[in-house]
Homo-oligomer: A and B are copies of this chain.
Amino acid sequence: MSADVIAELKEKLRGISLLEHSIALLEWDQETYMPAGGSESRAAALGEIVGIKHKRAQDPALGECLSKAEDVASGSGDLDLQALVREVRYDYEQAIRIPVPLASQIAESCSQSMAAWKSAKDNDDFAQFAPLLEQQVRLQSQFADCLQDEELCPYDILMNQYERGMTSARFGEICKVVVPGLQSLVERAASQPATTPAFMKGPWDREKQLAFSKEVAAELGYDFNRGSLDLTSHPFCTSPAAPHDVRITTRVSEDNFTSNLYGVIHESGHAMYEQGLDPEWEHTPLCDSISLGIHESQSLFWENEIGRSEAFWSHFLPKLRDYFPGPLEGVGAQEMANAVNPVRPSLIRVEADEVTYGLHIALRFELEQGLFDGSIQTSDLPGLWREKMQEYLGIQPDTDREGVLQDIHWSFGLFGYFPTYLLGSLYSAQFYQAINQEIDIEAEVSAGRFEGILQWLRTRIHAPGRRRLPLELLEDATGQTLDPSVLITSLDRKVGLVQGN
């Protein structure tokens, strides 16, 4: 009997997961190979499957089955089963609390709002986007109201959509440590030469770049037998069927090989997480990533901690030189590591370096918090943006296009999402520290041995899936609580190396 209930629950979850497989593929294709003329039909096909999926996710029969499964699990002493029903309950409660009309309104508003944002950005005209942005804030407030929680304010509820267990109070505390820490690093780095070394200037042949990046990704541990690399205008990672089919995309610029290389390493980091999920629990939340912050920790770990290290270049520079013998003659690993680690205040978040990046996030967090507690109006945003850029980074955009209009997120209704980028850096730095106590990372990386490092991540971070919440996972893995000073110390060391002092 009890086995039957669990089997029935798994069957229902499988049905939902298989629809998510199709949704992921339809979306992937939309960005990669779909002909332009197919876009309207694709939106309709996606809408159809999403609709069926939502219906299943809030099906009362799922709720009944889940209740029975909870009874079975609670008496079973089986920790996996208990984690399973806990996570299914979490998803189910979320699904049933959002009324269908609100979900449709949000979906519709997102597509309008994204169009308005694109046009506003093109025309550098914030006023064009403002009413849609206001609408997005209103709809997301309504969304948060549906998920009302005694302990959490609306903005916290939104943050929890992306990072379970995080609150604005906690994140505010983090910023109090991180912001001054990063600012003093920016100052210290100001003596760094602001010019790009001549050997970095390219042009870099696209095919060769792709071949090299693919070689790097495969060596780090991204399994191409369960993955693929395709071209898109914005790089991403998607999993039609984790851990068996996890794809990444990239872009290539002839001027700058680092855009492609670090993009590929970053997405490979995301993909290795998904490829490391537990196949025993395929189609259930135990074979799913736990949060965006943890996800980002995996991409940033490989991109920044590993990929931008001197050790990395000790191993990979000869290989890169095989592809591009001329321009890289005589360049050493340390020189290359310096070249890929500039620290310079800049206007655009996605182009920001590792040190200044967190300041861009703190700024967005404060504005979002204000939008949801009512202390900031959308009309205040362009001005506040400039003020805070001045305060945190010492520079100001001339246009809103390079300011408040630069990110797509708000047009999608993604509020509370930005903090996960910074949390990813914090986790990543702590994982590095913990691994380094067991494995001499520099020695391994210099020797081109990545398996031990990946294995550590596989066991401690990837395989657990949603069995543990982000902060629990961090503690399990590192034995430490969340500590923003680890990131600062790590960056301090890096800036020191780059400065040669």
Contacts and interface: CB of A to CB of B under 8 A. Distances in A.
A200 interface: no
A37 B228 contact: no
A245 to B, nearest CB: 3
A67 B18 CA distance: 34
Contact of A26 (B25, B36, B244): B25
A435 to B, nearest CB: 27
A41 interface: yes
Contacts of A29: 25, 29
Indicate how many identical chains form the complex. 2
A38 to B, nearest CB: 3
Interface centre among A41, A49, A52 (most CB of B within 10 A): A41
B245 A42 contact: yes
Contact of A228 (B33, B224, B244, B245): B33
Interface in A1-45: 14-15, 18-19, 21-22, 25-26, 29, 32-38, 40-42, 44-45
Contact of A48 (B15, B33, B47, B223): B15
A225 interface: yes
A244 B45 contact: no
Interface residues of A, number: 38
Given A48-B18, A240-B41, A240-B45, A35 B245 contact: yes
6 contacts: A29-B29, A35-B225, A35-B247, A37-B225, A41-B241, A45-B240
Interface of A: 14-15, 18-19, 21-22, 25-26, 29, 32-38, 40-42, 44-45, 47-49, 52, 223-228, 230, 240-241, 244-245, 247, 282
The 5 closest A-B pairs by CB, nearest first: A38-B245, A41-B241, A37-B226, A18-B48, A21-B45
A45 B18 CA distance: 5
Contacts of A38: 226, 240-241, 244-245
Nearest to A36: B225
A423 to B, nearest CB: 30
Given A48-B15, A52-B52, A21 B41 contact: yes
A399 B36 CA distance: 47
Contacts of A41: 21, 240-241, 244-245, 282
A245 B44 CA distance: 13
